[in-house]
A = this chain, B = another copy of it.
């Protein structure tokens, strides 16, 4: 399981769209607060592997390209820990 504190340290780039507290700034983007960490980790991996296209998928792919598996697990743990 990821480390939420370490995830928070990596979350700066996420906040412009997904909000400082995991509530999306634009309704076209998903809220992340309280989302299942296992799902979030899967979704990050899917963006990295190019399994999603359309919408903001290219933007997400660019953001996650520099993240390690551990970074993604930590980010997922962090967002799950936030109150929805």
Q: Is the CB of B51 within 8 A of A39?
A: no
Q: How many copies does the complex hold?
A: 2
Q: Is the CB of A51 within 8 A of B54?
A: yes
**Residues of chain B contacted by A34 (CB below 8 angstroms):** 31, 84
The CB with the most chain B CB atoms within 10 A, among A27, A29, A43, A57, is that of A27
Give the complex CA separation of A43 and B43 in angstroms. Answer: 12
- A36-70 toward B: CB 8 Å interface, digit per residue (1/0)? 11110011001001011111010000000000000
| A34-B31, A84-B34, A84-B84 known; A49 vs B54 contact (CB < 8 Å) | yes
Interface residues of A (CB under 8 A from B): 24, 27-31, 34-39, 42-43, 46, 49, 51-55, 57, 84
